[in-house]
Amino acid sequence: MHSGRPDPGPSGPLAWYLRLVLHYVGRGPFLVAEDGVLLRRLADHGPASGVAADPAGAERMRSRAPGCPVHLGPGAVSSDSFQGIAAFDVLARGGDDDTTVAHWARILVPGGRAIVLVPDPAGRGRALTRGDWAGDRAGNRTHDEWRTLFTKAGLTVHREGSDGLTRGPYGRIPTLLDPRTAPARTQHGIGTLFLNPGEGENAVFVLEKPTP
C-alpha cells in the first residue's frame, strides 16, 4: 500500500547505477541481477525482469519490485531476450562466475549491453584502506582478470573504468571533505563512466554482445 508521501527518487550508488544503465543501454527490456530496488526503478523506463541465485533472493526481489517477473538463476532466462543486463556487485560471491557470464552472453540480444561492477583488489581503494577493504573476498580478480573472463565468454568491452573512491574514510579526513573522493562524486552526478581502471574500489565494465 502506498504511503501517500512523494517518492524522493534514488540516491547514492543506486542513482548512479540507474543513470549508467539508462546512459549505456538506453532502453529495455532490462534484466537486473539480485537488486529488487534497482529493478523497480528500471521498470519505470521499460520492461524489466529480475534474476536471483536462490529462492530467498528471488522472493526479496519480488517484494521490492511488485509485478516484475523474477527468474531463478540465469539458466532459466531465454536466449537473446534482453537488451540490457544490470549486475552490480554480483560476481565474486562464491558462485560459478564463468558460467554466469556465459549465460549473460547468451541472454543478451546482439548489440545488447551488460553493465557490471566487480571488486578490484588491485585498485586504489584497497591500497588506501590498509587491509580493511570491503570488497576483499574469495574469488576476486584484478581488473585485467575480469576483462579476460568477459571477453572469453564472447563479450566485447565497450567501456571500462572505476567507481572511484566511494567509501572512506581514507585516513583521518572525513569522506566528504577528502579531495580524493571528489572525482567519484562528480562521476556519479554525471551518470557516466570516466574514471580510469584502478582509481577506486571497484572495476566497472560496459560489455556488449557482438552483432553477427
Domain ranges of the chain: 12-208
- Name the E strands within the chain: 30-33, 48-52, 70-72, 82-88, 108-119, 156-162, 202-208
Confidence of residue 11 (pLDDT cuts 50, 70, 90): low
Give the 3-state secondary structure of residue 113: strand
Distance of alpha carbon 127 from alpha carbon 121, whole angstroms: 8
Kindly report, residue by residue over 151-204, the tens digit of the pLDDT.
999 999 999 999 999 888 888 888 888 999 999 999 999 999 999 999 999 999
Distance (Å) of CA 195 to CA 62, 78, 161, 202: 34, 34, 5, 11
Kindly report, residue by residue over 91-127, the tens digit of the pLDDT.
998 889 999 999 999 999 999 999 999 999 888 988 8
- The β-bridge relationship of strands 202-208 and 156-162 is antiparallel
* Domain made up of 12-208: CATH architecture: 3-Layer(aba) Sandwich (3.40)
Q: With a threshold of 0.85, does the pTM exceed it?
A: yes
Other beta carbons within 10 angstroms of residue 56's beta carbon come to: 9
What lies within 8 Å, CB to CB, of 189 at 6+ separation is: none
